[in-house]
Chain A
């Protein structure tokens, strides 16, 4: 009996002793608690999360139109965004809100976990990326769910929770316009310092893409000198453009894809969230916009497909797929600098930027540099070029919001659906998307 008790004690002792290490084994090889630099990098390499941008703003913009008879086939969100409705989320969910805040969570988690890691150049890159993605997400959240930036209304409350830590049970402060843009700018400060100048993988941000994002932020804040400086910092690192004369406009997808490193202009890859509305062959380009392309403009054939009967649809994008490209590319930066330089009265420099882009876009046999005559509105000219070049990139929405502040550029957008006309006035309520019900009242649908 004694012996047996002893055996039992030994067995229990043994199992208890080795229990800790025995039970520390991971139950699934593919699961991790993200702690190492590799884990964090892998989280950032999740393209579905980090390399997307909002698309309802693209639907709500003025670049494309949809006939009333075709519109009925689309979802409530698509229909609602197209006509700037307040009630547009199916089941109270917004893909944009969820997706952008998911980017925020990933970035916050990476920054949180990297506190426990030894400093290394690799870790700097990871942290820099996380700051970039967080700035990216808040930049886009600001364009959808807050009023357009106004230097005189920095204390104005937005509806955006300003989350800077991955603790999901914390109740974060709500951003004001000022605190939102302050966070974006300080994150970009960090990103510019920590990121390496270039990257081999176009889904990963580089210092150059941080300059690019910064130029967008400064442009919408009306900081034209700052924006031009960011653009110059970007362009000093790389200013290569694609010469459209080398493309095959008749090809199904003439534009080279960014992600596969075939597109020297695309520096940071992102794509608009998928909506069947945007990839539909029923989505036609706004005739007014199409008129802006001159006959020798190679973009006219590289971007568009003529389906006959006057129906022009968009075919090309730097994604190489039916998705719209929403990343950062050199053409946009060049145009931003051109605009800023002209606004800053550096006419010749601005003109040089504009002509450099146009040289790569217009048929080389007929290309003539722009040489303005007195009284010609150069700013209008560069803005028109911006419309031509940056179609279907998700940037138009931000431009509309910022240009509406300048009466000469303000635009009323209208949709004619059957008998009904919908209007979006400059600075109208439709420029701020409602916060989804899933956020304000998660239990009731």
Chain B
């Protein structure tokens, strides 16, 4: 604080310096007006020689001057600078007209919090506003994915274990609770599938980051808020807009991950076979599948096949590669097409917007596709002399997805899917070839798996999600500055998944056969009847929100006050049901009853006698309720000083807590100072400078915990006695509280003259406390850990955006540089787990926090190189190199394993350049992610000589001296799982993930047309866009994409067209 004061004092000193002139002869006076509407311009800086002045609210200025000819310059943030020659003394007062700079002709930037809209100039909090144009720069069909690389502080998590499109705003705020930001669509939280929203209907997105911005959202805002606002009608002539685009994505490269060749795979199988490796499986009562090569080797050993023939067949197998087969027959180029039609217009008293969209997505796996139909309408009416406004918003979308995913079910690398005649070939899957042949002879169903045949069958999931929303708003403005708003929204999302396996499908045949039995008379008894198997899953989510809000805006003299306050009640009710039907007949819808209470004997292994028929019946009912009160106030003095405050009180039906303990009060406060508006501020190179500071609390709800002992019912279908049972999931915790985040934010907004360089810089510190964490507890209590408000997390960071206008001639060149730094650290966590848990952080979705480190960390065992004698990997025990892997692993603990750093980028951002010439624009985006680590894959020998393992196999140590060129261990003489484990998690396989990526290039052409006809084409836009262009630089020298590992991102090209009619 003291530092800031000093700095301000220094600023005053500089600016007052210019006031002390000498030899003043005369004074000139004048006014500055806008050239457009002749309104006075306040805040323009006038400079002449060593003197400067600033216009007041009437546009008036006075300036000391020495007689003679002088150059007088006028600067203003949003107007083009002017220079004129004046001769002093002047007889009249000067009147100077300024032209607005082109960018500034646009409306004032307004951010939406979901409760109100605030002009950016008046905000104290941290907001990022993404307008329609920037949002439409990329053509993806998912709104959230379009936010990549354009919002400072917002990052996509791509570390191991992260789900698709998982995002974080300013790092992490929670450990064990939901970590995704709150998404708000048209004033209310959105809990549907984000893919249901048509990006073409969206007008703008505001990302709320600090406490001042988010605390209005209270207990659900701890991870940041993304406020999506759809398009509204505009008064005036009807406008029609049509857009069409298509994206082609290449087939995934299945060869991107290096692996053991097919020939070596078969040779290794031979080797293993000679050592008896497969004899366990061969003699197992479960008759597990053996690969075709092993079957041939058995035939060769047992002399049941001509040895020459067997060898020929083995050699022939080496020529097949499953990956080529899959590439040829089971995957395809993806193709996405999007169509949208928008209509808007209105009169003085009403306005409307209609949007329609149709998207079709053919995915990479053949048979997988999705489509979306969307419809949205919004309407505003002004009634009773503009005192009452009625607004309605209706939307409907249907998302239909079909999934087959066959290619994942082939487990060996030389499966041939089709013969020369084009018929589908069987692939070995669960059981041995000889066994399934025998079973078929005895009358069981054919037990072969033919992937290509499955393609043409009724197999897989069909998911239809219908999302409908109705919003009604009533705004009453009895007098100027005051309004009362009533908003109601009801939404219903019905998601229906049908998973059908027709009788011909492998899935169904396998299930039926597994518990079939042969009766004494040779007939087949089938507890699971013939016919298809149909799984139905239906989920209905109903949400209702009601909000009553009062708004009061008043400006008197130099004061201006903006107040809102309201109450909100909301409920989200989800009911779900799952059921399975056996013996399903698609034609008639008929199905058959099975006996779930019986245990059947496996046909495969007669000693397995406890095999009930799988019952999927399940009912779920969830109901989440909130009552909230909120208020936000902003007071501004002279338009220079802004004081904001907001408070919110949430209550929910958080399980089992007494009502008076359920609530959590959250608040924030902020200060803004428009330094450049001060009289003393005369810098004409930086005409806009604003400082902001906010502090406050936002929260996070964890629904999985309760203050009371809670139990979960387990349906009787899962019990051997068929009785419903219950399981304690939560010990009593009367002190349970909601998680809170204390956020401090400091920001500077700046712009040079005519906004040649503009941007902002923000520093923040986010302290998560009372976070839900787990501590060990003595197991004699009945629980070996206790989960409660036990953890703290600190995230500090920096967000920066700099926009520059590099060239402004016929050729325009604009750049936008985004820089984000977000470093999280677990500051309090009492639980220590085994070293293995830390090494595996994220691998199974779970996090293992370690106090003092990043929440998602990369850990490893210390590496001491390969043993030059035999290529064994070496580690350390008490600083001495060793090969005692068992001991290295068992003595590893959180203190002696290496912590490299975060598994998620600490620094990230992008650098976008737009070049435009006439109607053409070329835009490129380069993204970077720095300061993090990832673990590389390598060969694991397991107990099978590395069968089918990673291609590092070929770089392995084979002879003394190899240790100088490779770190890949030799093949061990006998299986050693500890050796594999040590190497897998050793230091040598950890690399820096830092990289710079050329994300995309877009070339677009835009032509504004003028035409006198009533409805005519007014605007034409065309574009081509290429995505995932590749990595420009990366810190690891292995050519591995640290974010996608070997799943190389498919290259995608799009082209599109947009037509506007007026």
A: which residues have CB within 8 A of B? 1, 4, 7-8, 11-12, 15, 19-20, 22-34, 39, 42-43, 45-49, 76, 91, 93-94, 97-98, 101-102, 104-106, 108-109, 160-161, 163, 166-168, 172, 201-203, 251-253, 257, 259-260, 315, 320-321, 436, 438-439, 442-445
With CB as the reference atom, state the residue of chain A lying closest to B657: A23
Give residues 702-759 of B contacting A (CB, 8 Å).
Answer: 703, 706, 708-714, 719-721, 723-729, 731-732
B782 close to A101 (CB less than 8 A): yes
Give residues 578-629 of B contacting A (CB, 8 Å).
Answer: 599, 605-610, 619-625, 627, 629
A42 close to B609 (CB less than 8 A): no
- A166 — which chain B residues lie within 8 A by C-beta? 709, 732, 782
- B778 — which chain A residues lie within 8 A by C-beta? 161, 438-439, 442
With CB as the reference atom, state the residue of chain A lying closest to B732: A168
A279 CB to nearest chain B CB (Å): 12
A167 to B565, CA, bound (A): 43
A429 to B668, CA, bound (A): 63
Q: What are 28 A-B contacts defined by CB distance under 8 Å?
A: A1-B482, A8-B567, A12-B567, A23-B659, A26-B653, A27-B703, A28-B623, A28-B655, A29-B622, A30-B621, A32-B711, A32-B726, A34-B726, A42-B713, A43-B728, A45-B726, A101-B779, A102-B782, A105-B783, A106-B782, A161-B780, A201-B721, A251-B606, A252-B605, A260-B599, A438-B778, A443-B831, A445-B834
B329 CB to nearest chain A CB (Å): 40
Please tell me which one of the listed residues B609, B655, B728 contacts residue A27 in the complex, with CB atoms under 8 A apart.
B655
**Given contact pairs A4-B482, A27-B624, A34-B711, A439 touches B607 in the complex (Cβ within 8 A):** no
A102 to B712, CA, bound (A): 16
A19 to B778, CA, bound (A): 39
B548 close to A28 (CB less than 8 A): no
B709 close to A47 (CB less than 8 A): no
A43 close to B654 (CB less than 8 A): no
B613 CB to nearest chain A CB (Å): 15
- B599 — which chain A residues lie within 8 A by C-beta? 260, 320
Determine whether B421 belongs to the interface, using a CB cutoff of 8 Å to chain A. no
B248 CB to nearest chain A CB (Å): 44
A214 CB to nearest chain B CB (Å): 24
Please tell me which one of the listed residues B548, B567, B662, B720 contacts residue A47 in the complex, with CB atoms under 8 A apart.
B720
Determine whether B893 belongs to the interface, using a CB cutoff of 8 Å to chain A. yes
A321 to B782, CA, bound (A): 27
Total chain B interface residues with beta-carbon distance under 8 A: 72
Determine whether B830 belongs to the interface, using a CB cutoff of 8 Å to chain A. yes
B780 close to A101 (CB less than 8 A): yes
A28 close to B726 (CB less than 8 A): no
A47 close to B725 (CB less than 8 A): yes
A251 to B830, CA, bound (A): 53
B720 close to A259 (CB less than 8 A): yes
A15 close to B725 (CB less than 8 A): no
**Given contact pairs A34-B709, A203-B721, A27 touches B653 in the complex (Cβ within 8 A):** yes
B782 close to A253 (CB less than 8 A): no
Give residues 532-562 of B contacting A (CB, 8 Å).
Answer: 548, 550
Please tell me which one of the listed residues A8, A20, A101, A259 contacts residue B721 in the complex, with CB atoms under 8 A apart.
A259
Looking at A8, A105, A168, A315, the one whose CB has the most chain B CB atoms below 10 A away is A168
- A32 — which chain B residues lie within 8 A by C-beta? 710-713, 726
Please tell me which one of the listed residues B607, B709, B834 contacts residue A33 in the complex, with CB atoms under 8 A apart.
B709
With CB as the reference atom, state the residue of chain B lying closest to A259: B720
- B781 — which chain A residues lie within 8 A by C-beta? 101, 105, 163, 168
B780 CB to nearest chain A CB (Å): 5
A25 close to B625 (CB less than 8 A): yes
8 smallest CB-CB distances across A and B, nearest first, come from A105-B782, A252-B607, A29-B621, A42-B726, A442-B776, A168-B781, A45-B725, A46-B725
Please tell me which one of the listed residues A22, A45, A48, A443 contacts residue B832 in the complex, with CB atoms under 8 A apart.
A443
Give residues 775-806 of B contacting A (CB, 8 Å).
Answer: 775-784, 786
Give residues 317-356 of B contacting A (CB, 8 Å).
Answer: none
**Given contact pairs A436-B779, A438-B776, A19 touches B659 in the complex (Cβ within 8 A):** yes
Please tell me which one of the listed residues B548, B624, B659, B784 contacts residue A7 in the complex, with CB atoms under 8 A apart.
B548
A7 CB to nearest chain B CB (Å): 7
**Given contact pairs A12-B567, A27-B654, A201-B721, A439 touches B623 in the complex (Cβ within 8 A):** no
- A31 — which chain B residues lie within 8 A by C-beta? 655, 706, 710-713, 729
- A19 — which chain B residues lie within 8 A by C-beta? 627, 651, 659
B730 CB to nearest chain A CB (Å): 9
- A315 — which chain B residues lie within 8 A by C-beta? 607
With CB as the reference atom, state the residue of chain A lying closest to B781: A168
A25 close to B893 (CB less than 8 A): no
Please tell me which one of the listed residues B548, B569, B710, B830 contacts residue A8 in the complex, with CB atoms under 8 A apart.
B548
- A24 — which chain B residues lie within 8 A by C-beta? 653, 659
A47 close to B719 (CB less than 8 A): yes
- A108 — which chain B residues lie within 8 A by C-beta? 782
A444 to B832, CA, bound (A): 7
A30 close to B723 (CB less than 8 A): no
A377 to B911, CA, bound (A): 94
A45 close to B719 (CB less than 8 A): yes
B726 CB to nearest chain A CB (Å): 4
Determine whether B276 belongs to the interface, using a CB cutoff of 8 Å to chain A. no
- B627 — which chain A residues lie within 8 A by C-beta? 15, 19, 22-23
B726 close to A443 (CB less than 8 A): no
**Given contact pairs A27-B624, A438-B778, A443-B830, A46 touches B609 in the complex (Cβ within 8 A):** no
B53 CB to nearest chain A CB (Å): 43
Please tell me which one of the listed residues B605, B625, B709, B724 contacts residue A22 in the complex, with CB atoms under 8 A apart.
B625
A202 close to B721 (CB less than 8 A): yes
Determine whether B922 belongs to the interface, using a CB cutoff of 8 Å to chain A. no
A167 to B734, CA, bound (A): 11
A404 to B788, CA, bound (A): 47
B17 CB to nearest chain A CB (Å): 51
B709 close to A109 (CB less than 8 A): yes
- B877 — which chain A residues lie within 8 A by C-beta? none
**Given contact pairs A15-B569, A33-B656, A321-B610, A39 touches B623 in the complex (Cβ within 8 A):** no
Determine whether B484 belongs to the interface, using a CB cutoff of 8 Å to chain A. yes
With CB as the reference atom, state the residue of chain B lying closest to A201: B721
B832 close to A445 (CB less than 8 A): yes
A93 to B890, CA, bound (A): 14
With CB as the reference atom, state the residue of chain A lying closest to B653: A23
Determine whether B652 belongs to the interface, using a CB cutoff of 8 Å to chain A. yes
* 0 or 1 for each of B868-887: is its CB under 8 Å from A? (1 = yes): 00000000000000000000
With CB as the reference atom, state the residue of chain B lying closest to A109: B709
With CB as the reference atom, state the residue of chain B lying closest to A253: B609
- A257 — which chain B residues lie within 8 A by C-beta? 610
Please tell me which one of the listed residues A7, A15, A168, A259 contacts residue B782 in the complex, with CB atoms under 8 A apart.
A168
Please tell me which one of the listed residues A23, A168, A445 contacts residue B833 in the complex, with CB atoms under 8 A apart.
A445
A257 to B598, CA, bound (A): 13
A12 to B630, CA, bound (A): 11
A253 close to B607 (CB less than 8 A): yes
- A321 — which chain B residues lie within 8 A by C-beta? 610
- A4 — which chain B residues lie within 8 A by C-beta? 478, 482, 484, 550
A321 to B654, CA, bound (A): 42
A192 CB to nearest chain B CB (Å): 23
A31 to B950, CA, bound (A): 46
**Given contact pairs A22-B569, A259-B721, A29 touches B620 in the complex (Cβ within 8 A):** yes
* 0 or 1 for each of B813-855: is its CB under 8 Å from A? (1 = yes): 0000000000000000011111000000000000000000000
A102 to B783, CA, bound (A): 7
B786 CB to nearest chain A CB (Å): 8
A1 to B712, CA, bound (A): 51
**Given contact pairs A252-B606, A439-B780, A168 touches B624 in the complex (Cβ within 8 A):** no
A445 close to B782 (CB less than 8 A): no
With CB as the reference atom, state the residue of chain A lying closest to B776: A442
A46 close to B726 (CB less than 8 A): yes
With CB as the reference atom, state the residue of chain A lying closest to B549: A8
- A43 — which chain B residues lie within 8 A by C-beta? 711, 725-728
A260 to B624, CA, bound (A): 40
* 0 or 1 for each of B187-210: is its CB under 8 Å from A? (1 = yes): 000000000000000000000000
